[in-house]
Structure 1
Amino acid sequence: GNLTRQAGEDVGSYAIQQGTLALNSNYNLTFIGSNLTITPRTLTVTADNKVKTYGDPNPALTASYSGFVNGDTDTVLSGAPALSTAATATSGVGSYPITVGAGTLSAANYSFAFVNGALTINKAMLTVTADDKSKVYGSANPTFTASYTGFVNGQTLATSGVTGTPALTTTVTASSPAGTYAITAAAGGLVSPNYSFAVVNGTLTVNKAVLTVTAANTSRIYGAANPTFTASYSGFVNGQSLATSGVTGTPALTTTANASSPVGTYPITAALGTLSSANYSFTFVNGTLTINKATLTITANNVSKTYGNTYTFSTACASVDCSVTGLGGGDTIASVTLTSTGAPAGALVGSYPIITGTGFTFGSGSLSNYNVVYVNGVLDTVLSGAPALSTAATATSGVGSYPITVGAGTLSAANYSFAFVNGALTINKAMLTVTADDKSKDYGSANPTFTASYTGFVNGQTLATSGVTGTPALTTTVTASSPAGTYAITAAAGGLVSPNYSFAVVNGTLTVNKAVLTVTAANTSRIYGAANPTFTASYSGFVNGQSLATSGVTGTPALTTTAQVTLSASVQDPSVGGGTVSAATVTFTDLLTGKVLASGVKVSPVANTSSHTGTANTIVTLSTGQYGAQEYLIEVTLNGSYKNEQQTTACGPTLLPCDSPAYQAAHPVVTVMIPATKYTMQGSGALTPLSEAAGVYGLGTASYTAGFNYTSKGTNTQGKMELIIVQTDGTYYQ
């Protein structure tokens, strides 16, 4: 058998019992019991390791448990262990013990063993940012500095224990072009027990250097054109000059002064113009244009006169007696006074000074703009009489050179003798204009004979008497197949020859007219009462072997026939005591073309009626159109003793209906369609005869009567007639 024990697993003392233990029949069993003691099991309580950043508050301290048995968990525990550390928010970087004790921790079946943990404080992150800086192109780099963010515990750089400086560098040198560049930040010599470092780059902006552009001072004299303006440059860096600086373009240098500006000083304004530079900006300094006085020289020209004559000086300058230099700005000299003791008729042969300094006046201009210089001239009194000059050439002399013979004639001089040298009169050829005569021909025909006309003969000559021989060359590009149009007849001298004439040629024009094509309507026939057949035509007159298919002729001819139509109007004067209508006439007009079909048609009184009623009848020939139909819009107007007045009132939804007899009576128009379908107007839709229209409908005849009533002389008509008339051949006329 087996021993048993008292039930229970918790800590405590439990009796050991005999249970099923027994002996065989040969023994007596005496059982002495004992106790089973269950002692508490040791549970290890370990403080969890923790990590924090320098300056942060301590994290919550926790513990872990190991050693549970029988499926137990921390739910069998009550209370909590005591967890503590000496570290605070200001504790430096390092490892600090987390001490664990029993605290209020208890458990029925467990005792506790404690294992301390550690709180590790890591360095805080300090951000070191390179400060943005700027400098001017060509200058040395500025001192780089940095800013710090991320201090904890109220610290600053001075109190944080951070030592050393960051490394702040750039690739920029004094010669680096304008632009933006990185200032690269690194930890460099920075050291801290409690901080690590993150770096942020900054920006170094290289601004353009300022280049001073100074307009150069310059000068000119009054009246002269402005000189070319120039400028100087200052402010180059890095040992550069204009040529090596990369500056392109030129400044705009302008002034308000022009050639007519008076003496004085004027600003030369400097501006950007086309100047451009990657590394320089520009500032401008104006210059000065000084306009100085011009030198005005008035010179008496050397002249001569024949002894015994009086010499009268011209007051104009310039003239044969006077010349002027140095005028500017559009100035003119109005008059100048010249004097000489040799001018009177009694002055003896000799040389006399011409004095200029006695005065002049401006036509336009001002003396303030000039320094005036006077230059005297000389008047020589020398000759009397004239030489004898002659030549054998006349107006009819031919081309060539003819001597001009010179002799003493009446020449005399007290101090001179004479030697004579003959001259020559050269007669050049006259210009004869040869013009190709304009010609014309029909398309397909041979070119006509070209001729020319001549103009420019002299001395009463003609082509027959001028000595001109040969013929001009007259040509064209036209052939028999050249299309209709205008073409040049090119003229050239060709074989023309003349001892006394040269030749200028003028082209003519060859007009190729259209050839005449005869279009003949083919005869045809039909039976009475049938519709007209389709009309056809034949063509004759093609040239160059062409036919209708190859000739370029397009379209078709209009082939029409005509119909005799009787137009009739009934006229009535219902006024009391009205005059006879026989004094009236009627005009029929086609409003579509404006053509008057018949005018002055007499009104004949109707038999067995008063003289106030009559009819006007006339027969007209109207075309039936190319396709057997033609529309006519015929207006009937009354003349003679009666007057038509057009109604001016409108029609419409809120006015008189446009198809009402009262409105239509004011517009006496009869429409004729040849031929038309009964009760239908081609191209205009349905035609509804007026139920109240005045007049008589005629059937079986082409004539009809239309009545137009007048209330009195000079007033509007009072009726309108639209008719469908059946012809005996079965066609309809409206």
Structure 2
Amino acid sequence: METYGETKVYDALVLDKGGVVNGLVAGESVTLNTPNTILDVGSVRNEYTITWDNAKEGNYRIVSETIGTLTIEYRPITVSLVSGQTKVYGNADPAPFSVSIDGTAYPELIAFDVARVAGENVGTYAVTVSGNEYQGNYQVSFVSGTFSITKRALTVTADYKNVVYTNAVPVYTATYNGFANGDDVSDLSGSLVFACGYAPNAAYSATFDIVPSGLTSDNYDINFVKGILTVSKKRVAAPLAVQGLIYNGQQRTGVFEGEGYTIDGTATGTDAGDYDVTVRLKSGYLWNDGKSDDLERDWSIANRTVEAELDHHRFRYTGSALTVSIVLSNIVGTDVGDVVAVHTGTLTATVVGDYTVTVTGLDGTRAGNYVLITPTIVLNWQIINETLVVDAIPYHGIFDGNGHSITLSVDSAASITDIVVRYSVNSDLSESTTTPIPFTDAGTHTIYYRVTATGHDDVTGSCDVVITKKPIVIDPYDAQKRFGSSDPEFSAKVTGTVTGYGVSYELVRVSGENAGNYTISVTNLSGIDNYDVTTWTGTFTIIPQALLSSMIESLQSLTYNGDMQTTTYSVVSGSTLLVKGTDFTVSG
């Protein structure tokens, strides 16, 4: 009997290896069994048992046996990262990563670590699988791999908006769904833009798509979802027909154009009359009351009222034919000459009198735009006496001894055949003369006058002759005398007088006969009515008289008596007794 010897890789199975038995009778068999145990790497077994299948144990005996050796080796296994593992950006990594373990029925006995390169952005990252090479009965090989982070779905949805037609484009916005890792729109690249067919001047549509675009991202798969812009019809005021228009020769507008509607018919006109207009809404508009009906707007231009007047109401008689013209007021400038008055009466006359013109209507190519303010207009005019134009020129001057009067200038629009001018100093023109009245003396002198001419109204008036006093100066000459003598005759220099018109005056001095200066003054003026007199003063000097021994009289002779004595005397100059201390002094 012999059991086999072999080498076996660990397989965590129960050992079930047998051997061979020689010498059995044909048809009988036995089984050799190794121990029913699991052998670890390095174990050696040489034990066995015999199972007598259909042989009789008592008929045999074992004459020899050979025992084989069983060697258990490390079983090779591979720990591999399962390929194709991914996650969506923003999600957590798989916990744990998936690995495959080939070669053992007991993978839970293998210890290993799985680690990937750090990073959370979309991309491929290396994943390392590692651990001890020999673990129990296994020799472990590790196969690393990669792990992918895929883009996260991000939806950018344009927000629904509303706008009233023709209003400015609203500010488009969007709602974001799908951000992770605390991201927001600032973490996206590009700029969010919106495409929308609406514009204030675009053709009306109830809705427009709002299509967002323009954003990109390495970490997001962006899906743009359109929004809807709802356009409400704009409400506008219905135009009214302009009232109270009056013809003015220019084009007038009865119904004005405006936003949101069109005008059919005659909206403008120049001539007086009635006009018809239909107003229709454009697409995208409603009237303010919410209706959309067509509107009838009739309007008119009224006739312009006209006043009739004469260009003159009164003429001064000229002796020639005089003509008045009818003037129509309130006629537009471009129509002047195209509208005339229909009239009866007198437009031309020569003699003084009252005349009448009656206006009964209008005629001319533009007369249909006008109407008289009253059906009949009566106009009056007249021819009256002419008026003389008298220009009275006053006289203003300084007294010069000559006679002066006013000057009259007479004119007339009509021819003058005879003029009579009378002058007087009386306001009632009594005691008048046909000769201008002269005045010589200073003062204001009023002259009254009356001017008459055939066919003219009398003209009366007054005018002044103003003669101003002439300035003169009286300047006394200086004079002198010796003390005790008589005063000389004083004289003065007179400047500015008019020949033949002298003045009278006296020259006096301050009284006194002692030596000294005395003022000479002008007094008792007369004959100065025509003068403005300025007077000056002169100086009169009394010169001291020389004192002679012959002038000492009554000198008392004295006899010595031992006492202080004073002599007496008197001093005379001619017949004048001089005063000591005033007229003379004594020394010694």
Select the structure of larger CA radius of gyration: 2
Q: Could you state the TM-score of these two structures normalised by the residue count of structure 1?
A: 0.28
